[in-house]
Structure 1
Amino acid sequence: MAHVIPFKAVRPSRDKVGLVASRSYQDYSVEELRFQLEHNPFSFLHIINPGYKFQKEIAGNKRFQLVKNRYLEFKEEGVFIQDPEAAYYIYETVSRNQTYCGIIAATSVEDYEKDIVKRHEDTISHRENLFKDYLQTVGFNTEPVLLTYPDSAVINSISAEIKAERPEYEFSSLNRDTHYLWVVNDPDKTAKIKAEFDKMPAVYIADGHHRCASSWLLAKESEENNPEHTGKEPYNYFMSYLIAESNLKLYEFNRLVTDLNGMSKKEFLMQLDEWFRIENRGTEFYKPSKKHHFSMYLDGEFYSLYLRKTSYEFTDSLSALDPYILFVKVLKPLLGIDDPRNDLRISYLPGRNESFEVKKAVDEGAFAVGFGMLPLTIEEVKQIADEGLTMPPKSTYIEPKLRSGLTVYEF
């Protein structure tokens, strides 16, 4: 059973929420970040970029402590207020083309340890420990782990009932998305939501593997340092945003490589021919239409690459994934990309961008070749997790992407 419980969120006051909530820090260009910091004193970016106050770049533990200080200032000034009662939070975003709706809650770190919260990616230990130290110093988390669960008629019914009422928040962001949040603290409704999650044998990490792993590390360390540990302390949970599988949107990541590893174009195509049937598509934009089909942009032309299935052996669910096939048959043996997570010769472009972005990157000379594929399905992701396997880095780009500062979980 999945332990998903309500919690007392720290939230922006209703009149300031549209000013406080921000995109992920990494999503801002230098110019956008500077504009927000200069013109919006309520932006959550001031908390996670505390050096701006002193016009100085600050890193490490000193930065962590200043993040905590800025957060406490927001609470002291009444920008952030903690709810008096534990609640679930229904959060919905509406864009021109898509609506996402899920539940912000606290999920058990023990479930992560027991593989009830299932993962499909490897994590890097130094990043886990860095974020664990960050959490330990600041004492709060504002970026929920994105979890997904099988569609539930009960949760859908409760959500529809609650969404018929006036939301606590309703605001628009600069990208024209509209954001809604409802506070669910009615004991009967919270009990029904909890009971429904209790029935689920597993939930799956869609995005946020490192945040989840860091929360688990923090819980283990906190337990060791707390002789009065009961298992109910806030550090035994992490903030999550749970969304039904049917409401997730999965995109692929295109691969861009800076060079052909010393090969000429002709040599590279001859090497590819062993594993793929190659068709030159000329300057016509090409995107794959089937699993195990790939697109390639090289030297001003698009190519289609069809896997020769008579030569390739499918041994498990991982071997059938297109990102894995591209890695083991092209990126590693031909282009010399042994570590796709850290090799500076490879970059990744979310498939939600159009094909011309791959073409543009290659035509401008930053890269020699680009590859595309179909996005994975949620069924493929779940199968990898169920079998205890891990996908290559950047196998999926998953939406929704969540805003920071909307709800805060304190330890």
Structure 2
Amino acid sequence: MNSTGPAANDGLHLLPFRGLRYDAQRVGSLAAVTSPPYDVVVRPDGLNHLESADPHNIVRLILPQAATNGARHRQAAETLDAWLADGVLTPEAEPALYVYEQRKGDLLQRGLIGALELSAPAEGVVLPHEDVMPHVIEDRAALMRTTAANLEPLLLTYRGNGSATGATAVIERTTLRAPVLATTTEDGFSHRLWAITDPADMDRIAADLAHHQALIADGHHRWATYLRLREEHPSPGPWNYGLVLLVDTARYPLQVRAIHRLLNRLPVADALAALDDRFRIRTLDEGTPLPAAMEALGSAAAEGNGFLLTGADGRFHLIDRPDPALLARTIPADRPEAWRTLDATVLHATLIDHLWRIPDTSEHIAYIHDTEAAVGLASRRGGTAVLMHPVREEVVRDLARQGVTMPRKSTSFGPKPATGLVLRSLALG
């Protein structure tokens, strides 16, 4: 791996790498081999759909199916080796940074994919904002260790000056030429990829990014995994870097969505009964459509903490205005006010831990990105879907700069990069 720009700095250090990309002649279509990030493919039907889309769909690497964890990871490594041997995946001839564009209607997002030099949290270069689950890190680390590859990029954001200068100028000039890859996935997003190999362009990017810090928008567990694997490989080398997509949100703002909770073993009637007048409860009219219910939640959340509950009864129950004395008893007082008033904080500290007394395990709580999916699963399983209102990006960034992590799965930034467009082999640097 060849470095461009300063070898050391106080900001971001993004290096080119020899990407692994699908040979379009060896697969049914580029769209058919892509996948959402591994943690978005939450339902078996989604996994089966992706596996059947093309025998070389990337989900066979990021979510391999076998009887044991060890067998899954070995299967992914064997599959990756086979695809490389067969020419399904091929390495680029030279290291590159990649401009990645996603477009759907009026939404346009552009950023840079590269190998980011890893930094310790104390250095403040890359800011996490959510807690992580150790068992997920163990699984992702074993997968990366066995495959010796970064199979999908994290999504990181930074705040430029909002104008087409520095890295952004290089990005926008690059998009004027023909891409090396273009496809449209079934969700309606078009994806285009360009390779940057010109040393002068790389130097401009390096000089610009050296002045910035980044916020992890999506991929906290993969970032923690990168750091774990770097500790295992202390000598300078490819394990000191991790695959990321870096987006300037001053130029290309991301969408911020909520991640909902599915309480598998708590019927909605029991959830409401346990509130015992410590929240205001308003049951919306029967037949209220989901968009209207989410609008009502947005209005309530603008005034304070609010949640929308639904389950097998098919009704939406809006709960808000929690008892201040209850919040004072149940929420830790040694955190910033912005953290103590987060909906996710109130949900976990006050509702899940104190009133509902639900263990925070995968058997009891599922984290669902898609609102309709959360509602449907709660109805079919007889549990309770807790629908959330999204947090503003400024709140997330401010808390991260203070070194304060939010409850895990508090936010969902997007659009997320499609997995499978470009991979990074640690064997290639």
Q: With structure 1 as the length reference, what TM-score do the two structures score? A: 0.83
Match of 1:195 in 2: 207
Q: Check conservation: 2:36, 2:417, Cα contact below 8 A.
A: yes
SS in 2 for 1:333: helix
* Equivalent position amino acid for 2:348 in 1: F
Q: Check conservation: 2:17, 2:115, Cα contact below 8 A.
A: yes
Match of 2:220 in 1: 209
295 and 89 in structure 1: CA distance in 2 versus 1, 3 angstrom threshold: same
Identity level (%)? 23
Match of 2:8 in 1: none
Q: 2-side partners of 1:69 and 1:261: how far apart? A: 43
Match of 1:95 in 2: 104
SS in 2 for 1:332: helix
Where do 1:183-332 residues align within 5 Å?
183-200=195-212, 202-223=213-234, 229=235, 231=236, 233-246=237-250, 247-258=253-264, 267-272=273-278, 276-283=279-286, 284=288, 285=293, 286-289=296-299, 290-297=302-309, 300-307=315-322, 316=336, 317-332=338-353
Q: Check conservation: 1:89, 1:104, Cα contact below 8 A.
A: yes
Q: 1-side partners of 2:197 and 2:247: how far apart? A: 19
277 and 149 in structure 1: CA distance in 2 versus 1, 3 angstrom threshold: same
* Equivalent position amino acid for 1:181 in 2: L
Q: Check conservation: 1:170, 1:181, Cα contact below 8 A.
A: yes
36 and 245 in structure 1: CA distance in 2 versus 1, 3 angstrom threshold: closer
307 and 222 in structure 1: CA distance in 2 versus 1, 3 angstrom threshold: same
Q: 2-side partners of 1:23 and 1:301: how far apart? A: 29
142 and 343 in structure 1: CA distance in 2 versus 1, 3 angstrom threshold: closer
* Equivalent position amino acid for 2:365 in 1: I
Bigger drift between 89-98 and 123-132 goes to 123-132
Is 1:42 aligned with 2:60?
no
CA drift of 1:110 comes to 2.8
CA drift of 1:213 comes to 1.4
Q: Check conservation: 1:253, 1:348, Cα contact below 8 A.
A: yes
Q: 1-side partners of 2:377 and 2:137: how far apart? A: 32
SS in 2 for 1:66: helix
User: Which residue of the other structure, out of 353, 377, 393, is the alignment partner of 2:371?
Assistant: 353
Q: Unmatched 5+ residue regions in structure 1?
A: 52-56, 224-228
SS in 2 for 1:393: coil
SS in 2 for 1:213: helix
* Equivalent position amino acid for 1:167 in 2: P
Q: Check conservation: 2:308, 2:318, Cα contact below 8 A.
A: yes
Q: 2-side partners of 1:363 and 1:7: how far apart? A: 47
- List per-residue Cα deviations over 1:264-313 (Å, max 9, x = no partner): 678534342xxx44445443433232152414336535334134669856
- List per-residue Cα deviations over 1:89-138 (Å, max 9, x = no partner): 01112224633221101111235563311111222334323322322221
- List per-residue Cα deviations over 1:35-57 (Å, max 9, x = no partner): 65456233233445666xxxxx3
Q: Check conservation: 1:142, 1:406, Cα contact below 8 A.
A: no
CA drift of 1:239 comes to 0.4
CA drift of 1:325 comes to 1.9
How many residues are treated as equivalent by the alignment?
389
SS in 2 for 1:379: helix
Q: 1-side partners of 2:174 and 2:75: how far apart? A: 38
Match of 1:54 in 2: none
Match of 1:366 in 2: 382
Q: 2-side partners of 1:113 and 1:264: how far apart? A: 43
Where do 1:52-71 residues align within 5 Å?
57-71=66-80
Match of 1:400 in 2: 415
Match of 2:94 in 1: 85
Q: With structure 2 as the length reference, what TM-score do the two structures score? A: 0.80
Q: Check conservation: 2:309, 2:385, Cα contact below 8 A.
A: yes
Q: 1-side partners of 2:134 and 2:270: how far apart? A: 38
Q: 2-side partners of 1:120 and 1:260: how far apart? A: 29
Match of 2:36 in 1: 23
Q: Check conservation: 1:261, 1:334, Cα contact below 8 A.
A: no
320 and 148 in structure 1: CA distance in 2 versus 1, 3 angstrom threshold: same
Q: Kindly report the root-mean-square deviation, in angstroms, between the aligned alpha carbons of the 2 structures.
A: 3.1
Q: Check conservation: 2:61, 2:151, Cα contact below 8 A.
A: no
User: Which residue of the other structure, out of 7, 12, 15, is the alignment partner of 1:5?
Assistant: 15
Q: Check conservation: 2:137, 2:224, Cα contact below 8 A.
A: yes
Q: Check conservation: 1:288, 1:372, Cα contact below 8 A.
A: no
Q: Check conservation: 1:245, 1:378, Cα contact below 8 A.
A: no
User: Which residue of the other structure, out of 392, 410, 422, is the alignment partner of 1:377?
Assistant: 392
Q: 2-side partners of 1:28 and 1:329: how far apart? A: 26
Where do 1:156-171 residues align within 5 Å?
156-171=168-183
Match of 1:335 in 2: 356
Match of 1:129 in 2: 138
SS in 1 for 2:399: helix
Match of 2:188 in 1: 176
Q: 2-side partners of 1:100 and 1:253: how far apart? A: 21
Q: 2-side partners of 1:254 and 1:327: how far apart? A: 12
Q: Unmatched 5+ residue regions in structure 2?
A: 1-10
